[in-house]
A and B are shown apart, each in its own frame.
Chain A
């Protein structure tokens, strides 16, 4: 294994942190949308993400409703 980041260049390592957060956010938005379009419940999505149902609902419900996703009640 090579080293993950160049120990001499914290700028690149910190930029990688920002890039990973962006990637995680993008994946979360797209994959929650995909799951809900497939008929998953909020509780199921929350369980996989390891957060509360309220948290995932608060973060995504408005966007998915506006996107025309038919959401299950629970």
Chain B
């Protein structure tokens, strides 16, 4: 299975968005997709700091709970009523995913003719302190900046 940007987005991240009931593919869905590519250096780096798919889901739910608490709403995610996801739905690329792709393309070393791979996507994903992913990592006690440095070093050393 090829693991370029297209297959990651079209296959895994879209499936994550669908499962989440989301009408768009956002950065958190890309993060889950990357963590699910178990053979990739990017997923291994995530796992090294404890970010398995399960841990990421837990962190995203915690971020949701914490942000709702700011608005005075106490919700336990496990107690929310479930909606049946739409299997045929095709979520389109959301704004946070567009930003991460731009950042991935801009990351050093300069992208040659090749396609964007998982590690480059991870570098783009970790580049921002804003948004749900950054807040979820903070909720999980993960040092995002340090993780980003490691990912950038791996990318510079040739990891795709």
Interface of B, helix, strand, loop or mixed by DSSP: loop
CA distance A6 to B69 in the complex (A): 12
- For B67, the chain A residues whose CB sits under 8 A away are 12, 15-16, 18-19
B contact residues, range? 20 to 34
A13-B70, A16-B70, A23-B75 given; A66·B81 CB < 8 A: no
Q: Are A5 and B71 in contact (CB under 8 A)?
A: yes
Interface of A, helix, strand, loop or mixed by DSSP: helix
How many chain-A residues does the 8 Å CB contact rule pick out? Answer: 26
Q: Are B68 and A25 in contact (CB under 8 A)?
A: no
Which of A11, A19, A30, A66 has the most CB atoms of chain B within a 10 A radius of its CB?
A19
From residue B141, how far is it (CB to closest CB) to chain A in Å? 18
The contact sample of 12 A-B pairs, CB cut-off 8 A, is A4-B71, A15-B67, A19-B63, A23-B80, A25-B22, A26-B80, A26-B83, A27-B81, A34-B81, A64-B84, A66-B84, A66-B88
